Structure 1
Amino acid sequence: MSIKETISLTASELGYLWTGYSINEMSMWYLTAFRDQVKDEEIKELYTFALEGTKKILDGRKTLLSNESYAIPIGFSEKDIHTHAGQLYSDRFLLYYLHVGAQVGLEFHARAVAMATREDVRNYFKDCLESSTRLSDKVTTLSLNKGLYWRTPTLPAPTSPEHIQKASYLNGWFGDVRPLNSMELANLYEIIGLLIMIETLCIGFAQTTDCEEVSRICRKAADISKKLFEDLVGFIKEDNLPTPPSYSAEMTDTKDRVFSDQIMIAHVAGLFGSLLSQYGFSLGSIMKHDLLTAYTTHISRAGAFTEKVSRFMIDKEWLEKVPGVINRK
C-alpha cells in the first residue's frame, strides 16, 4: 500500500473536506436555480461552467471522505429549489453573486491548501483552488466586458519609501488621524462587497417565503448587513473615496418560492460565517483604533445573530454535525 493510503486524514484536512462538501453541495442547488432564471446567455454559460466545476469538486470530496469511511453530509435535493419560479434577482445581481462566490471560494481553498499534509489531499485542494481561479477570471472578464465591474480606487504612488515616525499613526478618534492605508482599504472593500450581496439576497429570501419566522430571520439579516455596510462606508467617505453600488433594488416583485426555507436559512448562516471569517482575517492588517473598534463591534453583532440562526436550525433539526473530537469524558 502507498503512504497516502495508510495515513489517516488530519483534523485540518477533514474539516476542510467535510465543510467544503456541505458548502459546495448547497452551492450546486443555488447555481442550478439561478442558471435557470438568468436571461443573459453569457451569464447563463458562466453559471453552467461554475456548476460543472462544483460537481467535479464534490465528486473529489466525496471520494476522499468515503475512502476514509466518513459519512457524507446529507445536504439538499431537487425538492429544495423550484426551477419554474419567476425570476427573483436581476441578471446584474446574479453576475455579482458569482463574483462574490468566486472570491469566497478562492479564500476557502487557499486556506485548505495551506492546512493540507497528505499528498493526494494537497493535490485535490490545489485542483479546487485552480478551479476557483478559473471561475474568478471568467467572472471578472465578463463583468468588465459588460461594464458591470466596480473597481476599487487607485492611490497615488509614493515618491520614496517611508518609515512610520509617529505613534499617532495608530490614532483613530482624536488628534492626528491618518487616512486608511491600502491594506486596510483592500479588506474593507471586500467586507463591504460581501455585505452588499448578503443584504440583497436576504431581501429576496424574505419576499418569497410563506413562513413568518424564516421571513423575520431573513429581514433581520438584511437589516444587520445594511447597518454594518453603512457603518463601514463612513470610513471610506471620511477619506473622500468612492463607495461601491448597492444591489438592494436588483430584484423583481415576484413572490414565487424559489428555494425551500431550509436551504435559504442554511445560506444565511453560511454567509454570516464567511463574513465573520473575513472580519477575523482583516483584523491583522488594521492599525487604526477606530477601525479596529468597528470591526470588533461588528464581529460581536454578527456573531450573536449567527448564534440565533444556528439555534433556529438546531430546533428545526436542519443543522448537520461536523465531525469532531470524541468526548472522552
Structure 2
Amino acid sequence: MSQDERNLEKKSDHIQLTSGDIAPLWGGYFSDSMVNCVLKHFLHTVEDNEIKPIIEFALGLTIEHLEFTNKLFKEEEFPIPLAFTEKDVNLNAPRLFSDGYMLLYLRHMGIAGTVSYGMALASSSRQDIRAFYNQNLKTAAQLLEKSTAILQSKGILTRSPFIPYPDSVEFVHKESWLNGLLGDRRPLNAVEITNLYLNIMKNSIGQALMLAFSQVAENKDVIAYIVRGRDISSKHVEVFSALLRDDQLPAPTTWETEVSNSKVSHFPIS
C-alpha cells in the first residue's frame, strides 16, 4: 500500500504532527533513553534509602515518556529513533557515582525538565501532545521539589549567593551599562549572578558525568570526544566562577570527587 493510500485510510479529522510537535518528541526520546540508562545504574548502586524512591520516581517518568512516544510514532507511521537501550548499561558494574551526586543529578533533571517541557508545550499544537507536555511539566516540578527537599534536609543544597537588599530603586541611564562586564566593569546584578550560578551548576554536573564516562568508555575516539566535552565544561566553570569571585561572591563547588575510580564499562560504548 502506498503512502497516499495509507493517508486516505486515516480519519478525516486526523491532524498530522507539525515540526513543532516532532522536534521535542524526537529530541526527548534520545534524552529519555540516555537518562533511563543512567537512572538504572543509580538504582542498582544507590545506598541511601531516602534517595532510592526519588530515583524510582524519575525512572518511572522516563519509562512513561518512552512508551508514549513509541506508541505515538507507531500510530503516525513515523520512524522510531535508534536511541539507547538496556544493552547500553551494565548493571553488574560497580558503583560509579556517590549518592550525593545522584541526588544533584535528579534535581538537575527537574530543572531541565521544567525548562524543556515548557518550550515543548509552547511549540506543540496538537491536543494530545500538549496534554503530554502539561503532565510532564507537573512531574518535572515534582521531581525538582522532591530532590531539592532531600538535598536541603541533608545540608548539601548549594544556594545561589546572598546579596544585600537595595536601599532604593535605580534606573539605567547609559547604554554602556549593558557592556559593564567588559573592561572597567560594574558590579554584577542579581540576574547575572543567578545565571552565572545556574551555568556553573549545570557545567559542574556535566563535568563530573563526562569524567565518569571517560573512565569507563573503551573506544579511544569516544574517550577523546568525552574528554573534550569535559574540558569545555571545566573552562566554563572556571570563567563563570572567576566572575563571581571578582565581586567577592562564593562560587559553587564542583563534583568530580563524587565519581568513583571504577574503570569497568558501566555504559558499553564501542
TM-score by length of 1: 0.75
Of the two, which has the highest radius of gyration? 2
Letter matched to residue 91 of structure 2: T
Letter matched to residue 210 of structure 1: E
Q: Residue 41 in 1 paired to residue 45 in 2?
A: no
Alignment root-mean-square deviation, CA: 1.8
Distance in structure 1 (CA, Å) of the matches to 2:27 and 2:260 = 33
Q: 1:75 to 1:167 in 2, by over 3 A?
A: closer
Q: Residue 252 in 1 paired to residue 267 in 2?
A: no
Letter matched to residue 174 of structure 1: G
Letter matched to residue 249 of structure 1: T
Cα offsets for 1:49-108 (capped at 9, x unmatched): 101111112222223322221122122222211111111111111111112222112211
Aligned 8 A contact 2:96 2:260 in 1: yes
User: What residue number does 1:58 align with?
Assistant: 66
Distance in structure 2 (CA, Å) of the matches to 1:77 and 1:127 = 24
Of the candidates 181, 184, 201, which is equivalent to residue 172 of structure 1?
A: 181
Aligned 8 A contact 1:18 1:65 in 2: no
**Aligned length in residues:** 260
Letter matched to residue 156 of structure 1: P
Cα offsets for 1:282-313 (capped at 9, x unmatched): xxxxxxxxxxxxxxxxxxxxxxxxxxxxxxxx
Aligned 8 A contact 1:29 1:77 in 2: yes
Aligned 8 A contact 1:17 1:65 in 2: no
SS of aligned partner of 2:148: helix
Distance in structure 1 (CA, Å) of the matches to 2:206 and 2:183 = 33
Distance in structure 2 (CA, Å) of the matches to 1:18 and 1:173 = 39
Q: CA deviation at 1:125?
A: 0.9
User: What residue number does 1:156 align with?
Assistant: 164
Structure 1 gaps, min length 5: 263-329
Q: Residue 71 in 1 paired to residue 71 in 2?
A: no
Distance in structure 2 (CA, Å) of the matches to 1:143 and 1:135 = 12
Distance in structure 1 (CA, Å) of the matches to 2:249 and 2:22 = 42
Distance in structure 2 (CA, Å) of the matches to 1:75 and 1:173 = 43
Of the candidates 16, 20, 33, which is equivalent to residue 24 of structure 2?
A: 16
Cα offsets for 1:92-132 (capped at 9, x unmatched): 11111112222112211010011111222111110111111
Structure 2 gaps, min length 5: 1-9
Report matched runs for 1:113-132 at 5 Å: 113-132=121-140
Identity of aligned residues (%): 31
Letter matched to residue 233 of structure 1: S
Q: CA deviation at 1:2?
A: 8.4
User: What residue number does 1:221 align with?
Assistant: 229
Distance in structure 1 (CA, Å) of the matches to 2:103 and 2:172 = 41
Letter matched to residue 213 of structure 2: F
User: What residue number does 2:6 align with?
Assistant: none
Letter matched to residue 31 of structure 2: I
Q: CA deviation at 1:245?
A: 0.9
Cα offsets for 1:241-285 (capped at 9, x unmatched): 1110111111222211110116xxxxxxxxxxxxxxxxxxxxxxx
Of the candidates 161, 173, 187, which is equivalent to residue 195 of structure 2?
A: 187
Distance in structure 2 (CA, Å) of the matches to 1:197 and 1:167 = 35
Letter matched to residue 34 of structure 2: M
